[in-house]
Structures are given as C-alpha cells and as structure tokens.
Amino acid sequence: MRVIIVVGARPNFIKVGPLVPALTAAGIAADLVHTGQHYDAAMSDVFFEDLDLPEPRWYLGVGSGTHATQTAAAMVKLEELLAAERPDALIVVGDVNSTLAGALAAAKLHIPVVHVEAGLRSRDFSMPEEVNRLVTDQLSALLLTPVREADENLLREGVDPSRIRFVGNIMAQSLLEHLSQARDRRACERYGLEPGGYVLATIHRPENTDHPERLAEIAAALKYSPLPVLFPVHPRTRPRIAEHGIVPGTRGVTLADPVGYLDMLSLQHDAAAIVTDSGGVQEEACMLRTPCVTVRRSTERRITIDVGANRLVGAWRERILAALEEALASNRDWPLPELWDEGVASRIAQALSDGVEPMPGV
C-alpha cells in the first residue's frame, strides 16, 4: 500500500511525527507533501528539525492568503500531484486549510481520503476550522477519531459506522515521545523565569487578534496576572498587542519570538498555568497536567474541560483572571483521556492495513 500525507501547518507536523515510522513498520509506503501553508522557518522548518521528520517529497509553496485563496491554490496543486501519482489513499490531518484542500482534491479523483483527528466539533461556524472539519469528514472514506465523543458526533451526522475507527490522539503520542527532551531544555530559564513561576500565553486566532475589543480584554488580563507572563508572539501580532499596552518592557509580561516544538513543550511543562486560544495547546496542557484557561467562545476539545484540565472563558478580563486564579490553585490530578498514549500511530497503521473501502458509488 502507498499513501501520501498532506502537511501544511504546525499542528500537522506535530501529528505526523509518529505516523511515518509506524506506517513504514507496517509495510505502508508513505510520502509527505508540504503545501507551504506555514511558509517561514519559525513556522515550519524548526518543527521538521525538532520532530526529526523526513524531508517532504513535494513542496507546493502555497504561502499565505485568504482562506479561499489558500485552499484553492493548495487544491489545484494537489490535484495535479495526485492525478500523476495515484496513491492508494491520501491522509489528511486535523482541520487546517491544507486538510480541506487535500480532501477535496482526492475525493474528486476517487482517491480514498483518510482523516486523522476526525469528528471533533465546536459547533461554532465563526471558526473556519469548523467548516474544514465538517466537509473533510463527509469526504473521508476512513475517519480516525481521537476521542469517543468524536465517534458520537459522526454517528449523529449519519456517517456509516464502518468508516469510523477510534484510535486515540496522535498529538499525545508525539508529546510523550519528545517529553524527556523537552524537559531537559528548561527553556523558561532563557527568559529569566523559574519552573512553576510564570504563566504562559499563546494568542494567535483572528477571532482575538483581529478584534480590538477582545484583544484589549485579554491584554488587560495578562497585565494583571498574579504571576509573570511569558508571551511568545508572532511578529505580525506585535503591533496589535502594542496598541493595548503590551510592548517590550511591559511590567510583568515578557514578549518572545515564536518557539519550536520542543521549546514550546518545555515552556508548557514548566508553566504554572497557560492562557491560550490554541486547540493543540489545550490538549498538550491536559497531557502535561498544566492547568489551562482558553480565551475563546467555543472549543472542539471538550474532553479537556470534561476531565478538569481546561476552563473556557471567552475574552473578558474578569473571567480570565478568575479562571486563572482557579487554575493556579488546582491540584492537577485529572485523568488523562482514553487512548492518549504511545500506541496511536500503530493503531492508525493497523486501520490502514485492514483496508480502506472506497466511498459509495466509486
């Protein structure tokens, strides 16, 4: 069996890390195609280095743009590639625009789509990722789910049970495989901070960075945090947060450049708490038993709330600060979700080895 795996953004790289060797061990030939959705070194190259990923066989150079522009450009280039290569299946991961582009291109060429991390739902259509998830799942011949709730979501939507396999969370396997390396880095010390003595902030979603009133509330909460805040921030976001008084030298807030995967794991592991709008960080915080405060209206990672690792508070300073105080006082003894372990990639390989049935009528 021969498959092509689509990657294009940081969450994809993290999840594909354990997958390629597991597929190879199962006798499945796997090649990577990098769409170039995240196109600079801080967003892409460092993750390949940290995760020891094989070089992509193809690089499409899609770059940035609107959702439609980016998805369409990736779809056009992937269609050309898939028509020439005709793999037995196309594996797409997560919910980024490259995921949707791959699913659309493959489905129209009658190449079975395998969706890793299928079935997650925020039920919030203001999130472009929710659209990507819904469409990708409808086009997928094999849906590999990270939590039981995802199976239930798909069944409610009328997906044939034979297309669904609960395999667990591939992100968790990647984290467990790299945790020892990450701990040894003690990345917080580079910023003059001590383990357990700071709050880590990651804010990148347009629903926050593109809305001044929401960003102002988040910025105010960070400035009044009971512990120092470390805030790795993308250069494009810096001018926006500067408008709300967070600039280099702001008392209690340390701004940092974006960091690689291992450094980010290290910073999350050693933080007293995390304030984030990232789906992946919610899951990683849960695995690391670092309490999390999520500044969003909704989340597709409901399991992190259910086990007690996460608090969904929106973008109101009082609610953020109250949740942060609660997080800092929590005992961190929540149970880890089912099958968030080091066997996920092997279960995915087994699901592929068992066969991928074509979609009805193909």
Catalytic residue set: 204
Q: Strand order in 273-276's β-sheet?
A: 253-256, 229-232, 199-202, 273-276, 292-294, 310-312
Please check whether residue 18 is in contact with residue 25, taking contact to mean a CB–CB distance below 8 angstroms: no
Give the Å distances, CA to CA, from 267 to 26, 226, 264: 34, 18, 5
Please check whether residue 130 is in contact with residue 106, taking contact to mean a CB–CB distance below 8 angstroms: no
Q: How far apart are the first and last CA of the chain?
A: 19
Please check whether residue 227 is in contact with residue 197, taking contact to mean a CB–CB distance below 8 angstroms: yes
Closest CA to 54 of 29, 37, 74: 29
Which of the 8 DSSP states describes residue 74? H
Both tokens of 39, joined, read 């196109």
